[in-house]
Amino acid sequence: MLSLARAGATDFARAEFVRLGLSASNDPEALSLGARLLKDVALTADGARRRAFARASARGYVAAAANGGGPYGLVNAATMSLLAGEAARTADLAMAALDAGAAAGQGDADYFHRASRAEALFLLGRRDEAADMLAAAVASAPASLSAHASTLRQLSMIAAEIGAPTAWLEILRPPATAHFTGHMFAVREPAEEAVLKARMADLLRARRIGFGYGGLAAGADILWAETLLAAGGELHVVAPLALASYVETSVRPFGERWVGRFEACLARATSVRFAARDPYAGDDEVFAYASRFAVGCAILRAEGLSTQAVQVAVWDGRPAAGPAGAAADVAYWRETGRPQAILPFDRPAPASPAAPPAGLDERGVKAMLFIDVRGFGALHDAQVPAFFEVIMAGMAEAIAGLAAPPEHVETWGDGVFLVFDQPCDAAEAALALLESHRGLNLRARGLPRHLALRIGGHYGPVHLRVNPITGAQAVVGAHVVVAARIEPDVAPGAAYVSEAMAGVLATRHADLYRCGYVGRTTPRKSFPPVSIFNLSRR
C-alpha cells in the first residue's frame, strides 16, 4: 500500500487499508500508513477539506508515536498541524519531537534521524539550526539521493506554507539528469576528440549532471557515455534495436574501433532499455521512438529525484532531415521548454536521406489501452446481460464522449483494446473510463460492487495491417503484447502505463497527468518485466 501511495493511487490504497482491517489496528506502522494516506489527500485538497484531512492525519501520526512509533510521527504530526492552521499545536509537537530524541543510527537511519530534527527545528522557526542539522544529515548518507529528494519535497512544502526562502534546501538537490545526443561520425584525430571530450566534461560538471540517458551510436553518443562514466555518473542506455543489429547499423560502419568502445560502455551501463528487440528493417521511426523513450526516462528520473532534467547535445545547427537524429532530438526537447546545452559541431553537409526500402509494412507509433473488468469471470450467467447493459454500455458512453476518440477498437468478452494516435488522448480515455465506472450503480442492477476496471497502457511502434479473416484493420506487433502484459498487474480501479508512455506524458503533458512509479510487471514466459507507473490527474 505504501508503494501505491507513493505512486499516487491514494484512493485504491485507502480502500485496501480499510479492507485489510488496518484502520482498526494499533500497530505503529499501520497507524503511520493511515496517517500518510490522509496526508496525501490533504496535499491535493484546498480550503476546509485540506485542513480537515491534515488534522486527521496529525491525529494518526500522534497515535503512531504514542504506540511506539518514535519521534518521527511527532514531526509529521507537527507538519500536518501546520497545514491544518494550528500554529500552537505545531510548535508543541515539534518541541516534543526534539525532546523525544532518539539514538542516531548509521547510514539511512542516521540520515532520517537528523533530517527529522531539521524539520522540527524549521517548524519552530530556528532555520540556522535546521540548516546545520540538514547539512549533517546529508553528510551522514551522501549517496541516499531518494531520501534527500523526499526530504526536499517535505521541507519545500513547509516553506511554501509559511512563505520561507528555500535556497538553503539546495544542499538536498540530487544531481541533474540528462538526455544526451549528437551526430554519428568516424574516429577523428586524437587531439580533436580530446578537445570535444574536455568540452563535454566541462558541461557535465557545470550542469552537475549525474545521470545520463541516450543511445550508444558511434560518435557523440559514445563520447558522452565515456565522459559521463569517467565523471562517476550513471549511464542508462536506450537501444533502438537488438544489440547486434544496432552495432551493424550505427557503430561498425564508422570504424571498428567504435565497436570495442561500444562494448566497454555497455558493460558499465547501470541499465539497458530496448525500444525494440528486432533487427533493423529500414524504418528510421524506431530511432526517433528510442530517442523519445530516452527523453522520457530522463525526465521521469528527474521528477522522482526532485531535480532538473537537461538535454546535452553535439549538433551542427542544421535542421532535421528526417524523423531521427541529433537535430530531431534537439527540436523535440526544445518544445518542452526545459534547459538545453548544445556543443557546436562542424561537419560536412550530410547527403540527402535515402528513400526507405520498398515493401515495408505500414507502421506507426501508437498509444494503446487494454481494459478488462476484475470479477467478470465469477459472474453468474443471469448477471451477464446486466453486465453488458451497465458496465460495457457505460464504457461505450465514456468512449463516445471523448474529444479524441480511439482510431481502433476491439472487444472480446469483458476485454477492450483501444488504440490512439497520441499518448495524451489515451491517458484521457483511461481516466474518463475509470471516472465513468465509479459513477455506476452496480447494486441496483444486481451486480457485485467489487467489479472494477483494470487498464494497462503503452506507447510504441506497431504494424497496421488488415485482418485477412474479418477484413477489418488490425493493430499488431510486439508492442501490442507489452500493453497486454501490463493489464493483469494493474490494481482494480486503476490505470497503469509503461515507462515509455509515462515518459511522453511527463515530457509533454506534465501539467495534466501524473505518473507515479509502481514497480515492475511480473515476468511471464520469455517476456521481460516492464517498469509500470500509476496514471492519475495532476
pLDDT single digits (tens) 195-210: 999 999 999 999 999 9
Query: Is 353 inside a domain boundary?
Result: no
Q: What pLDDT does residue 360 have? A: 46
User: Which CATH number characterizes residue 24's domain?
Assistant: 1.25.40.10
Q: What average pLDDT does the chain have?
A: 90
Q: For 13-72, what is each residue's pLDDT tens digit? A: 666 666 666 666 777 788 888 888 888 888 888 899 999 999 999 999 999 888 887 788
Tell me which residue of 518, 521, 534, 391 sits closest to 450, measured CA to CA. 391
Q: Are residues 43 and 183 in the same domain?
A: no
* Geometric angle at alpha carbon 355, from 223 and 188, rounded to 5°: 25
DSSP code of residue 66: I
Distance CA 130, CA 37 (A): 27
Q: Are residues 160 and 184 in the same domain?
A: no
Q: Are residues 336 and 187 in the same domain?
A: yes
Distance CA 111, CA 90 (A): 23
Q: Are residues 14 and 158 in the same domain?
A: yes
Instruction: Give the residue numbers spanning the domain of 226.
Output: 176-344
Phi, psi torsion values for 84, nearest 5 degrees: -80, -5
Q: Are residues 208 and 132 in the same domain?
A: no
Q: Are residues 378 and 506 in the same domain?
A: yes
Q: What residue spans of 174-255 are helical by DSSP H?
A: 190-206, 220-230, 243-250
Q: Are residues 184 and 168 in the same domain?
A: no
CA torsion through residues 311, 312, 318, 324, sign: negative
User: Are residues 237 and 214 in contact, defined by beta-carbon separation less than 8 angstroms?
Assistant: yes
% of the chain beyond a pLDDT of 70: 91
pLDDT value at 5 more than 60: no
pTM of the model: 0.88
Distance CA 255, CA 261 (A): 11
Q: For residue 122, give the 3-state DSSP assignment.
A: helix
Indicate the pLDDT class of residue 6, thresholds 50, 70 and 90: low
% of the chain beyond a pLDDT of 90: 69
Q: Are residues 183 and 331 in the same domain?
A: yes
Residue written as cell 510521527? Answer: 73
CA torsion through residues 123, 129, 130, 131, sign: positive
Distance CA 308, CA 298 (A): 9
When pLDDT is averaged across residues 201-221 and rounded to a whole number, the result is 97
Q: For residue 101, give the 3-state DSSP assignment.
A: coil
Q: What pLDDT does residue 287 have? A: 94
Query: Is 381 inside a domain boundary?
Result: yes
Distance CA 366, CA 289 (A): 11
Q: Are residues 75 and 201 in the same domain?
A: no
Least confident of 135-149, 299-313, 459-473: 459-473
Contacts (Cβ under 8 Å, ≥6 apart) of 403: 428
End position of a domain, from candidates 112, 142, 172: 172
Q: Are residues 148 and 207 in the same domain?
A: no
Domains held by the chain: number? 3
As beta bridge partners, residue 476 has 463
